[in-house]
Chains A and B, each alone.
Chain A
Amino acid sequence: MRRGFYSRLAATNIVKNKRTYIPYMLTSIGCIAMLYMMFFILQNEGMDTIPGGSHLQTIVSLGVAVICIFSFIFLLYSNSFLMKRRQKEIGLYNILGMEKGHIARMLFRETVYTSVISFIGGILVGILGSKLALLLLLKLAHMPAQFGFFVSILGIAASFFVFGGIFFLTLLLNLRRVHLSQPVELLRGSNVGEKEPKAKWFIALLGFICLGIGYYLAITTESPLQALGNFFIAVLLVMAGTYLVFTAGSIAVLKVMRWKKSFYYKTKNFTSISGMIYRMKQNAVGLASICILSTGVLLMLSTTVSLNFGMEDLMQTRYPYDVNFSFRNITLEEGEDIRNQVRKEAEELQIPYEQLVDEMTLTVSCIYEDNKIIFKNPEDIGDIQVDVVTVIPVSEYERIHGKDPGLSDGEILAFRERGNMGGELKIMDELFQVKEWLKEWPLQVDEIDLFGNAAIVVTKADYDKIYKLQREVYGEYASTMKYQFGMDVQGTKDEQITYAHKLIDPIMDYVHTKYKDGMKSGAAGISVEIRQEEYETFYSMNGGLLFLGIFLGGLFLMGAAMIIYYKQISEGYEDKERFEIMQKVGMSRKEVKSSIRRQILMVFFVPLLMAVLHIAMAFPLISRLLKLMSMANTHLFMICTVVTILFFAAAYAVIYSITARSYYKIVERVA
């Protein structure tokens, strides 16, 4: 055949199939552009030097991985859809005398064209958008904007390899499809008479059980530490449950609806229920994917948005005091010495401060058993439900509260949130008489609400006894006395930092010279936290996460949009015939229209509703996880979640209405 024939044929094929090819290429362009932008950001010069830049780099690298994986999935999915739609056309070529080799040449050229267009388009969009993406990231991370612009060769090369690979793979898959098929089969294509799907009751039940357990875990997990482990179990269960419920559960539910005659034989239910039973068979997996992608987007955005909006709160929770020092591994006497030194220095420097915390305690992890406190190695416990008990020397209690409780050895004051509050408390095998149950948390520092808290006030002799007891069990991991002081300092951000350093430097010097040998753990035992200095890290972390959330949210939304679009067209072709028949039998145009609308609304908004349900159920668990990240403002998280859902629903509705238009066009052409 003449030269250039295949090239022209391939080009006309793409143009003729533009309804399916354009979304495919748009998806490719979107994915390529995103990947390029990620590399641009990674490669940006400033990234290494700005504080917090390394956090951003880690977060962005994570984004690269996710984009690669999902580009792969999305493009293979849409390619398989494309080829299914074109089966008849290719079968026709085969029957008209093109050999499979010729078809392969044609397909090869088509792939080259679409790839080249997508690649060039993607890189162009990427180059144009990269600066914007960078500025957005820097803005979210509260970093100074950078000037200058460059084209990332690395980005172009990486995109070329990743997407070149994906496109090559699609070509191979398509060639294999053509090679394996018979022309007659190709011609018949998608029109194979389909059986009505059977209801798989067991699988449906399994799906609901998976969802149920996942939800149950999410709602009932109390301890934030357990939440982390349970979160992944719950996510897996809910994902599996979603797929099972969409594939088997939906058909089961529809069949049950069909049994109910007075409900089924109503104009508005009749056509939609039977139509849906078929539709679910082909679409369940797609819809479940949309649901899971939507849930992912909502989760990512709601958490990252609330971390950002809750930054102030978060910092207040994580760093309750402007300046916080703590010394571990010290004795009561050493602590007393440092305390005096701090007071002296602060006075000399005339720092305008307010002392908020100034206390020495011993915090030990333990297990409560009724009226017994047991020290036990975590390896021997098996359960991760660990509590802590804070041991307070009576001298400290007296200093904080200004009164002497008059304890003698063997007597204690105790505080406990719940559980047995009898007259005795055993610690390992030592029996203590509880002189008084305290009504309030006896320390200045807040309770750590990750644990079930208990505190006991003991005499010096008993303190030593308990210290020894836990030392015997925990060995080198035993807790030590901690002296903590936290203060709020007046002044601007910079003044606060200056004051804090002025104060801490001489104290450090003092401690290091005096206790060189005594404090073996050295710097590890001393921690200095100046809240104003920590902002940068948190901004770059949380801003980076939000950026990634927005970016991946966009990617997922694009994927969902593409799946929805392809669903709409493929269903359009199938439904066209059905609605023609119904009109002939006496359904009015209006009824046809409303029936169509009902059906697609149901099909496409069910995943969204399901995603919202997932989010609602995950809410308690996520808010506990956020607490681990010091984001304790559940109210704010709730608002962020609701707002995110509203925005997402709006975006979803827009995608839906755009794609629904193409569906109506197909269905209504004759109707």
Chain B
Amino acid sequence: MSLLEVTNVKKIYSTRFGGNKVQALSNVTFTVEEGEFVAIMGESGSGKTTLLNILAALDKPTEGEVLLEGKNIVHLTEKEISAFRRKNLGFVFQDFNLLDTFSLRDNIYLPLVLAGEDHREMAQKIRPIAQALHITELLEKFPYEVSGGQKQRAAVARALITSPRLVLADEPTGALDSKAAAALLSMFGEINEDGQTILMVTHSAQAASHASRVLFIKDGEVFHQIYRADKTRQEMYHMISDTLTILTTGGEAYA
């Protein structure tokens, strides 16, 4: 059984007064296996963010099913959703979404506190993660005191501390300079090697080249996918670039 199964997901937005309907996702089907690092690529407006929101149970699809470990998350009640999100998913956002009022440590603790864990256990859990992400010395600092890359690493630590089944990352490198972005992505690679499943939405070929599989979305559908297999990052990067070129020049013929 796959970790995540997305079957025929469709999402239609209606404008406020029910007039115009906009189809964000027409028919998306794919699966993610345990331990994979999947990148989803597509242009602005291709439906990436909609898809991610549906996977995060922040939004509901108009049609179709999303199964996480065989459990359909589309039919969860409001109450179950937050607990589900807390237990099974870790989030990394483009703009970090750290709370200014908390130190990095407290920001990382946030999901654990919400889950009602004991503070001694939290302290134990944070140690290895902070070490791996090289933020041990920064834990007592506040978000406004550290750099963007450091903020994002704290956000990754927050996503990982609950040992989620799946980490969802939404343009995690979008607000970082190239050096910090590269560091973060290689960190994602390491985490993935330790067995963490990651699903990342991005439009950066550089970022996607770190993934073990890349899905391309166009006009609300999965248009194409590339497996890494034993390709180097460089090769992977070129393949992605080529695919993107085809995507943008509208090469329906190659599909």
Contact = CB atoms under 8 A, between A and B. Distances in A.
B97 A277 contact: no
Nearest to A273: B101
Contact of A274 (B56, B81, B98, B101): B101
Contacts of B79: 588, 590
B113 A591 contact: no
B114 A267 contact: yes
Interface in B180-194: none
Interface in B61-120: 78-79, 81-83, 85-86, 89, 91, 93, 97-102, 106, 109-119
A379 interface: no
B88 to A, nearest CB: 10
B100 A193 contact: yes
Nearest to A269: B113
B237 interface: no
Given A265-B113, A270-B110, A586 B101 contact: no
Given A270-B110, A274-B106, A578-B99, A586 B122 contact: no
Given A193-B144, A265-B122, A589-B78, A584 B93 contact: yes
A584 B110 contact: no
Residue among A264, A265, A274 with the most chain B CB within 10 A?
Answer: A265
B82 A591 contact: yes
A586 B100 contact: no
A195 B82 CA distance: 31
Contacts of B122: 265
A192 to B, nearest CB: 10
A1 interface: no
Nearest to B106: A274
A194 interface: yes
B223 interface: no
Contacts of B142: 195-196
B132 interface: no
B145 to A, nearest CB: 8
A284 B167 CA distance: 40
B113 A586 contact: no
Q: Which of A262, A587, A589 has the most CB of B within 10 A?
A: A587
A289 B112 CA distance: 38
A586 B85 contact: yes
A261 interface: yes
Nearest to B78: A589
A96 interface: no
Interface residues of B, number: 34
A668 to B, nearest CB: 14
A278 interface: yes
B113 A270 contact: yes
A261 B119 contact: yes
Nearest to A586: B86
Contacts of A128: none
Interface in B31-84: 56, 58, 78-79, 81-83
Contacts of B112: 265
Contacts of B218: none
A586 B116 contact: no
A592 to B, nearest CB: 9
Q: Which residue among B91, B101, B116 has the maximum number of chain A CB atoms within 10 Å of its CB? A: B101
Interface of B: 56, 58, 78-79, 81-83, 85-86, 89, 91, 93, 97-102, 106, 109-119, 122, 142, 144, 158
Which 4 residue pairs spanning A and B have beta carbons closest together?
A: A586-B86, A588-B82, A265-B119, A193-B144
23 contacts: A193-B100, A195-B144, A261-B119, A262-B118, A262-B119, A265-B118, A266-B113, A267-B114, A270-B113, A278-B101, A581-B98, A582-B99, A584-B56, A584-B58, A585-B85, A585-B111, A585-B114, A586-B83, A586-B86, A586-B114, A587-B114, A588-B82, A588-B83
Interface of A: 193-196, 261-262, 264-267, 270, 274-275, 277-278, 578, 581-591
Given A277-B101, A586-B83, 11 more contacts: A193-B100, A195-B144, A265-B112, A265-B122, A581-B97, A583-B82, A585-B91, A585-B97, A586-B86, A588-B83, A589-B82
